[in-house]
Structure formats: structure tokens, C-alpha cells
Chains A and B, each alone.
Chain A
Amino acid sequence: MGSEKLILLGVNHKTTPVEVRETMALSSGYEEPLLQLGKIAGIKEYYLLSTCNRVELLVVGTPNAELVDSIIEFLFGTGRSKEECRQYFYLYEDQDAVDHLFRVAASLDSMIVGEAQILGQLKEAYRHAAALGTTGPLLNRLLHKAFSAAKRVRSETEIGSSAVSISYAAVQLAKKIFGQLNDKTVLLVGAGEMAELAAEHLVGQGVQSVVVVNRTLSRAVDLAQRFNGSAASLEELSCQLENVDIIISSTGAPGIVIHKEDVKPLMRSRKNKPLFFIDIAVPRDLDPALNEIENVFLYDIDDLSTVVEMNKTARDKEAVKAGRIVEEDTIKFMRWYESLALTPTIAAIRRKTDEICRQELDKTLGKLEGISEKDRQALEKMIGAISSKMLHDPLSYIKQQACGHRDDTDRRLDTIRNVFGLKDE
């Protein structure tokens, strides 16, 4: 297989601004770009992954400036100078490429570490490449190993269970207070973007109804429509408080909007049902003393950040574990990959046959009595001749030069290794 290498070239949300990524995202689906890639000389196997946060290309081929240039041109088009492109993409070879692919599959390289979508996207990308026959024995195996590394990370660590965000923290707290959220009502005071996001998360977790209160009623009506909820004016706020469970406040008001004295008398008519106040406004909307009322829980943006931090430390610990799993799997794959080389394979086959001959010879010679030195040498010679004649065809099969346009040494090596039962890893 000579100087062939695994080459991974790509851009992601960390290296490349969104304006550049936008121009690259392959909107036409996978088929066309895959066919286009096939025209680049020197590529043996390849596959392409394109998501909103990354475009990555994995290639088996001989690395040289020409190959890289044509891939860059494929990725960025001709509109940009090579120097400009170079600052955006990363390029990994062999072990680093495998490691990177496994990290991507395990969602360790995602914007939200631990999100589960990426594995599905990876599988889809692979399906397209496999359908067009652009992957060979090397990439087939590599991608399947990537899937299983991702599965291991998912089942052996808890990296997926605590995505990190303020909204997630709010949901987490709400669940600790209310248990089930599906019969609860959320009240949005003020129609800010953050409040909208948090409400979206809560609705995603099963919250039934949403009420929006805003100074300008029309904005409240708009937002309420998004959640199939109802709108109310600021004057109705205290009577709304009687019926809701979770309040997210994000007005631009300079002072306190809801005071302790407003809520305390309501608790009796609420029959002490718990109230969860979330204050994401700066300056704050909600009286800090609210937290002193029984069955009322008040969290401001800083308190929520504490929860986010807490999730982060837990997640970081899991990320260390996940990193170790990825490393392990990378090493295993590299062992197999390196064994694919011609010379070690031939050596391994020879070693195996020699060992078998030696064993059988010893066994037989032990049983034969009174055999002369000359006979023994003749026997050894015969066995040596048989084994090298037996090996002649298999060995010349893997040594033969590439026929036609494609070098399939890897495939032949893999076959022979399987036939001879040589261990991969």
C-alpha cells in the first residue's frame, strides 16, 4: 500500500466562522459532491460528512500538495485564496485522523458536547458513500468502529445526560420541584428572547400551557400564538399568578415587578401549591425576598449559572472517561490498520506456517524410533518445500500489482488475513 495514508480534512464551528461555513454547506445532498470527489486523482476511498456545524472529508490516498489543493478547491470553491482557506481547515493524518473521527462520532467535538444527533448524521453520510461505492475495506471498517466507539461512550458514560445551558438548568430545577411537568402552566413576564427559549424548553418537556404577559399586548399576543397560549396585560399579572406554576420574568423594567407582598396573600388561595420563579432579567424583576415564602422557589440568572456550572463539572468528568474510550478504540483500530501493510502480513503468514511445521515435525519425530540424521533432514526439507509451495499462490496473490484503475491491495490483504486467521488487534 506504499505511502498511502488516511487523511481527514475539514472545518467545524470552532475553526471557521459561520459566514464561511454557510457558503460550503452542501445543500444539494450527498450524491453530487461525492461523484465530484471521485474525479480527484489519487483518492482510493473517501466519504463526506456535512452538517450545519461541520464539513469533513475522510480520504484514503497518497498525501501530496496536489491532492490537498484539489480537495481545498472542492471544499471552498474557487472564490477564496488558498492562504485564506488554510486558516480555516484542519488536516489530520492516520492516527490523528482516526482519533478525530471517533471524537466527532462520540459527540465530544460537538458544539453541545454529548448531543446525540451527530451519530445519526454520520451514519447517513456513510450510507450515501457506501451506496455509491466510494468506501472500501478500510473506511468501511473505520466507520463501523467509529459507530461502536460512539455507542460505547454513550452507554459507558453519562455524557449525554446533561446538556449545558440555562434553559436546561431551569428544566432540571422545575423537575426537582414539580416532578412531572405535563399539567403545569408557564407564565412569561416580558417577551424577551431568553424567556422564549426557556419556555420552548419547558414546552418540550411537556408543559401544557403558556401565558404571556407583556407591556405591549400585541407582542404578547404574537408570542402566545407561537406556543398556542394566551396573552394578558401587565395589569392582570397578580390574578394570573394564582393559576400558574412556573414564572419566567425578563422585562426591561428598571425596578422590581413582583414583590413578596404581592405573592404571599396568593399562596392561601393557591392552596400552597408550589411556585417556581425564574428571573432572567438584568436588572432583576423579582423581589429576592420571594424565596422566603414557603413553597416558593426563586432563582435568578446567577443561581441558574451555578446549576449550569454544576452540570459542567459533572460533564467534564464524563468527558475524561469518554476521551479514554476514544483513545482505546483508536489504538485498536491503528493496530489493525498497521497490520494491513504487506511486509508484516507476509512475515506473519510465514511465522504461522513455520510454527505449525515445527510443531508437527517435533510430534512425528518423537514417535519415530531409530531414524537416522539423514532421514530426519530429508523429512524437514520435504515439509519446508510443501509449505512454501502452498504459500506461493496466496503470497503472489497479495503481492500482485494493481490491475486496472484501482489498487485493491487493502482488500486482498484483508481477505488473506481473514483466511489465515491472523489477529487484527
Chain B
Amino acid sequence: MIVEISSILFMAVLAVTFVSCAAYVVFFISQNVKVREIARIILVVSGVLQTLYILVRYFQAGYSPITTHHETAFFFAWATTWAYLSFRWRYTVKNFGTFVSLLIFVLLIISAFSSKEVLPLKPILQSGWLPIHAGVSILAYGFFSLAFCGGLMYLLQERELKSKKFGYFFSRLPSLDALDQLNSHCLTTGFIFLTLGIVTGIVWAKVAVGHYWRWDPKETWSVITWFVYLIQLHQRFTVGWRGKRAAVMAIVGFVAVLFTFWGVNFFIGGEHSYGK
């Protein structure tokens, strides 16, 4: 029974997100504000359905559903959705929704293609720390993915302005300043969550196995990602890394995030491997 509900919910999330995404694309092309309102409402519905799916999955599995590949990809999409919906930039950054909804849909597709099997939780992960540590970390990734979308948009718009060939994107993309502010906001918020994620991980490791830090590949890469963002923030606030450089760095940072998130599991393995 619960398995069926969960799979119906999952299909619903996919369908609703697809519709919202399509509506955002229509808005991007037509610039009809009514369409944007509809797209946004559908995205909120998708966000609610995603939350329900996570709850159902929690009862289905009996633990916080942030361990298998399917679950983490889904949680990533959920974090991006709510990070987007909960902040005010969506009003000032024109057409941001189109880019973000596409990313959310891609993440959901990734989770759809991974095994939905519920695996028994490894004993080492059976702890109240799991949802806190994993949740906070993935929330950070949600903000970094917003910064990634903003970075892409910045590069597109900057190219239009520098080349002086005003193509399709010029009127449809927001001002460079708005995108640069978005970058700064998302990186700061994301960085705080990432730091919290790493700190909770350290505490959990101490409690569970008695060591703060064991240079597990995931841990190593988390620290590398953390430094990538730390350098960006530091440079922004001291010497003024902004504009194109900040946009490129947001994309580089997101690649580091993706590698930490999935690459490590595929290529290296370790304690954090999802459901292997």
C-alpha cells in the first residue's frame, strides 16, 4: 500500500514539475506575466508534493530518506525548489525561474532513473544525526545550485553586453547587478549551511566512531568544496571578485559540489556511499 502511494506520488511530482517547467519556458519565450504566475503556483504544488513524497518515503523506509542515490537526488531537487521558493530574489531576477525549474527537473529525472529500492540502513548510519547532517549539507547544495543558475545567466548576459549583438537573451535576462547580488546571497547562505553540515558531520563521527576526522574520500572532497567557496567569498569581500569571475567560480564550485555529491561515490567509494 505505502509503496504504491509513494510511487504514485513520485510520478505526480515528475508530472507537475514538468508542467511547471514547460510553463516557465513558455513564459521565457512569450514574456506573458500571467504564465509566470501559473508556473510559479504549479512549482509550489510540486514543492508540496515533493515534501509529501519525502514524508511517505520516511514511513516506508523507517529512516530519514537521505541515503540511497535515488533519495539524495530527490532531496537535492527538494532543497533547490524550496531554496528558490523561499527567497525574495525571484522577484528581482527576471526569468530566474526558467533556469531553476529546468535544473530541478533534471535532478528529478536523475532520481527517477536510480533504483527506488529501500535498502536496510547500515548500523553506523542509524542515528538521529543522519537527517541533521545530510539535510543541512544538501540544503547548502540547494543554494549552490541557485548560484550556479545565476552564474550561467550572468555569463549569457555579459556576452550580450560585451559583444553588443543583442540577441534573444538580452531583453529576457535580468541586469548583471541583480545576478551578481544573487551570487553573493546564495554563496553566503550556502556556505553557512555547508559549514554547519561539516561541523555536524565531525560531531557525529566523534560520537559514532570516536574520531573527529578520518579522511574518508567524501570528507576530503567536502573540505575541498568548502575551500572553493571560502576562497570565493573571501576574494569577493576583500578584493572584489565579482561579475564574470564570480559567475565562473559559482559554476566551478557547483562542479565541485556535484563531484563531492556523486563523483566520490562512483569513482572512489567510502563510508558515505549511498546504499552500496
In the bound complex, what is the Cα–Cα distance between A270 and B239 (angstroms)? Answer: 9
Could you tell me if A271 and B162 are in contact, using CB atoms closer than 8 angstroms?
no
CB-CB contacts below 8 Å: A290-305 with B: 291, 294-295, 297, 299, 303
The 8 A CB mask of A273-303 against B (1 = contact, 0 = none) is 1100000000000000001001101010001
Could you tell me if A176 and B157 are in contact, using CB atoms closer than 8 angstroms?
yes
Q: Indicate if A173 sits at the interface (CB-CB under 8 A).
A: yes
Could you tell me if A294 and B245 are in contact, using CB atoms closer than 8 angstroms?
yes
CB-CB contacts below 8 Å: B232-249 with A: 239-245
Could you tell me if B177 and A179 are in contact, using CB atoms closer than 8 angstroms?
yes
Q: Which residue of B lies closest to A176 (CB)?
A: B175
The 8 A CB mask of B152-178 against A (1 = contact, 0 = none) is 000001000110101000100011111
Which of A291, A295, A297 sits near B242, CB closer than 8 Å? A295
Q: Which residue of A lies closest to B93 (CB)?
A: A179
Minimum CB–CB distance from B178 to chain A (whole Å) comes to 5
Minimum CB–CB distance from A28 to chain B (whole Å) comes to 46
Residues of A within 8 A of B241 (CB): 272
The 8 A CB mask of A249-265 against B (1 = contact, 0 = none) is 00000000000000000
In the bound complex, what is the Cα–Cα distance between A331 and B256 (angstroms)? Answer: 65
Q: Indicate if A178 sits at the interface (CB-CB under 8 A).
A: yes
Minimum CB–CB distance from B238 to chain A (whole Å) comes to 9
B92, B157, B161 — which one has the most chain A CB atoms within 10 A of its CB?
B161
Could you tell me if A272 and B242 are in contact, using CB atoms closer than 8 angstroms?
yes
Residues of B within 8 A of A273 (CB): 240, 242
Could you tell me if A310 and B166 are in contact, using CB atoms closer than 8 angstroms?
yes
Minimum CB–CB distance from A343 to chain B (whole Å) comes to 48
Q: Indicate if A306 sits at the interface (CB-CB under 8 A).
A: yes
Could you tell me if A306 and B164 are in contact, using CB atoms closer than 8 angstroms?
yes
A272, A291, A295, A307 — which one has the most chain B CB atoms within 10 A of its CB?
A272
In the bound complex, what is the Cα–Cα distance between A295 and B243 (angstroms)? Answer: 6
Could you tell me if B176 and A176 are in contact, using CB atoms closer than 8 angstroms?
yes
In the bound complex, what is the Cα–Cα distance between A295 and B154 (angstroms)? Answer: 12
In the bound complex, what is the Cα–Cα distance between A268 and B245 (angstroms)? Answer: 14
CB-CB contacts below 8 Å: B218-261 with A: 239-245
Could you tell me if B244 and A303 are in contact, using CB atoms closer than 8 angstroms?
no
Could you tell me if A177 and B162 are in contact, using CB atoms closer than 8 angstroms?
no
The 8 A CB mask of B203-214 against A (1 = contact, 0 = none) is 000000000000
Could you tell me if B240 and A271 are in contact, using CB atoms closer than 8 angstroms?
yes
The 8 A CB mask of A165-189 against B (1 = contact, 0 = none) is 0000000010111111000000000
In the bound complex, what is the Cα–Cα distance between A306 and B164 (angstroms)? Answer: 8
Please judge, given known A-B contacts A272-B241, A273-B240, whether A297 and B162 are in contact too, CB under 8 Å.
yes
Q: Which residue of A lies closest to B241 (CB)?
A: A272
Could you tell me if A179 and B178 are in contact, using CB atoms closer than 8 angstroms?
yes
B162, B177, B242 — which one has the most chain A CB atoms within 10 A of its CB?
B177
In the bound complex, what is the Cα–Cα distance between A50 and B240 (angstroms)? Answer: 56
In the bound complex, what is the Cα–Cα distance between A295 and B248 (angstroms)? Answer: 13
Residues of B within 8 A of A268 (CB): 239-240
Can you list 14 A-B contacts with CB-CB less than 8 angstroms, sorted by A residue number? A176-B161, A177-B175, A177-B177, A179-B92, A179-B176, A179-B177, A179-B178, A179-B181, A271-B242, A272-B242, A272-B243, A272-B245, A273-B242, A297-B162
